Chains A and B, each alone.
Chain A
Amino acid sequence: MSAISSHPNLTALLTITRREMTRILRIWAQTLVPPAITMTLYFLIFGSLIGRRIGDMGGYDYMDFIVPGLVMMAIIQNSYGNISSSFFGAKFGRHIEEMLVSPMPNWVILGGYVAGAVLRGLLVGVIVLCIAMLFTHVRIPHPLITITTVLLGATIFSLAGFINAVYAKKFDDVAIVPTFILTPLTYLGGVFYSVKLLPDWAQVMTHANPIFYMVNAFRYGLLDSSDVPIGVAYALMIGFVLVLGALGLWLLKRGIGLRS
């Protein structure tokens, strides 16, 4: 009797995903609690305290307006952070070699890590959404758009985190991109304000920010309101997934940062 399952690649993919989930739950104090605390403070300070003085934003109560952006921000940051730290940790600890010497195709390695990162993003997203419900009434008029936006956004930033980890040579390299690129793009991506409040030149620049499209697509799913056409947002998100996915596979094939 052959010990190999009838779908060995699926078994391998589920193994990596399971391992990632085990890691996320084992270190829950680092992976799940911090975004819950941070987002609670955001809701409390920006939504409840300052938000009352701001009034409406884009036709919605300010608290309602920032919920989609903050949930998306948490998903993006955690998907990115999960894969960049886990994959770089595997490189640093050399247990990435367990996978590199195995018969797994590259797409399984990439897919397994991305699935783990997306699951953490989803888990954190649900936690943050539950916290938001303590402050406002959350309704989901477009559930399909909401869930697909979350999946696409989490996948894009998982792939970006993976590429970061492949090139990283030390832990500082994993922190540089979130600090100098991801955080500014997130804050300037329309999480806290409508792009219509900005001067024309700033509106044009905002349209070059991929996070802006994700936040607005997600806001459309929750509030039925968006600063950009939803079709454009989807086209860009799918395009990013394809380009970053292809880049990730190419890096694995060439063994850049992994094989000497």
Chain B
Amino acid sequence: MSSIPALEIHELRKVYATGVEALKGVSLIVQPGDFFALLGPNGAGKSTLIGIVSSLVNSSSGSVKVFGVDIEQDREAAMRLLGLVPQEVNFNFFEKPFDILCNYAGFYGIARAEARLRAEQELRRAQLWDKAHTMARTLSGGMKRRLMIARAMMTRPRLLILDEPTAGVDIEIRRGMWRILKEVNAAGTTVILTTHYLEEAESLCRNLAIINGGQIIENGPMKTLLAKLDVEGFLLDIDGELPATLPQINGVQVRAEDSHTLDLEMPRAMDLNSVFASLDAAGIRVRSMRTKTNRLEELFMRLTGGKEAAA
């Protein structure tokens, strides 16, 4: 595999005409073949970053290279390597999916005959072939998002960037999109993803960066970052009602969620058996147990100072 990074961002800054400093010297490297998550609260600078990489936003300073090609010095070559699935639907609603895909390929100089072949392949993969010749405005929200992925894949990009591709779609469609993205990544395409669903990032991505206030505050392998969490939370459903006085367990925060549910927060290294033994001694019998929060969400909330909206 090539040693040239799929994406290399150095000291990227963006100050909008309004004076808002959206990026404050962001540096980031994404290796080829990676499945990379870019997370951050709303207004953190993710969309500005993606906008600059895809040449929709002009940077104030800094550099961006796609597979070693500087987007300022050779924009055409850099854009040929890049595919973008934006946050907002941005195809012509009055065109048909087949035409949208063929025209998009044409913008990249792909001959019409080849574009037609690819359009059928991509629409079939996105399970949209039966909608190929209907007006795009009649597609459902999930179909529109799948169409944007199909469109981006028409040019066989080496780097695919998706800005919240599964926002607002139901779980079945979301999992279908995950399958497509896994296939794309397995075929060698580097994928960068921003998402509101942190479980999505945790299940798909190998590396991640968290951006907040226009700066990268964390960057590394998913496993390493999650290992930094030293506390885990559990919700325990108990038989009967909780006693009026909850047991004191050393090192564990015990709180009643309601009269039938206990909320525990404990060190990751702590033995669960000792906790259950203490509960048993207090006459509390546990019927079932579930993790309180998504682990990545927990990490995210800690790093970004508990801002509610993720990604």
Contact = CB atoms under 8 A, between A and B. Distances in A.
Interface of A: 3-5, 7-9, 11-12, 14-16, 18-19, 22-23, 26, 90, 93-95, 97-105, 255, 259-260
Contacts of B107: 12, 15-16, 98-99, 102-104
B109 A101 contact: no
B23 interface: no
A22 B96 CA distance: 12
A105 B111 contact: no
A18 B54 CA distance: 25
Interface string B82-95: 10101011111111
B108 A95 contact: no
21 contacts: A4-B111, A9-B109, A11-B106, A11-B111, A16-B106, A16-B107, A18-B103, A18-B106, A26-B94, A93-B92, A94-B88, A95-B91, A95-B92, A98-B90, A101-B84, A102-B108, A103-B109, A259-B55, A259-B56, A259-B57, A260-B57
Contacts of A94: 88-90
A18 B102 CA distance: 11
Contacts of B111: 3-5, 11
**Residue with the greatest number of chain B CB neighbours at <10 A, chosen from A22, A105, A259:** A259
A12 B55 contact: no
For the complex of A and B, the 4 pairs showing the least CB-CB separation, nearest first, are: A8-B109, A15-B106, A102-B107, A94-B90
A77 to B, nearest CB: 23
B79 interface: yes
A15 B55 CA distance: 21
Interface residues of B, number: 37
A19 B103 contact: yes
Contact of B16 (A93, A104, A260): A260
A214 to B, nearest CB: 32
Given A12-B106, A94-B88, A95-B90, A103 B57 contact: no
Contacts of B75: 103
B76 A260 contact: no
Interface string B128-171: 00000000000000000000000100001000000000000000
B90 A93 contact: yes
Contact of B103 (A15, A103, A105): A15
B221 to A, nearest CB: 29
B110 A11 contact: yes
B213 interface: no
Contacts of A95: 90-92
Contacts of B79: 101-103
Contact of A93 (B54, B55, B82, B93): B93
Given A98-B104, A260-B56, 11 more contacts: A4-B108, A9-B109, A15-B103, A19-B99, A22-B99, A93-B93, A98-B151, A101-B56, A103-B79, A104-B107, A260-B51
B56 to A, nearest CB: 6
Contacts of A7: 109
A171 B114 CA distance: 37
A103 B77 contact: yes
Contacts of A14: 106
B80 interface: yes
B219 interface: no
B109 A4 contact: yes
Contacts of B110: 3-5, 8, 11
Contact of A12 (B57, B84, B109): B109
Contacts of A97: 56, 86, 90
B70 to A, nearest CB: 14
A40 to B, nearest CB: 29
Contacts of B84: 101
Interface string B45-61: 00000010011111000
**Residue with the greatest number of chain A CB neighbours at <10 A, chosen from B80, B109, B114, B118:** B109
B76 A103 contact: yes
A12 B80 CA distance: 13
Contacts of A98: 90-91, 103-104, 107, 151
A22 B75 CA distance: 29
Contact of A101 (B55, B103, B114): B55
A12 B55 CA distance: 18
Contacts of B99: 19, 22
Contact of B80 (A11, A103, A260): A103
B104 A8 contact: no
A15 B88 CA distance: 24
Contact of B108 (A8, A23, A255, A260): A8
A24 B30 CA distance: 44
**Residue with the greatest number of chain B CB neighbours at <10 A, chosen from A5, A23, A97, A101:** A101
Contacts of A260: 16, 51, 56-58
Contacts of A18: 103, 106
A97 B82 CA distance: 14
Contacts of A259: 55-58
A260 B108 CA distance: 23
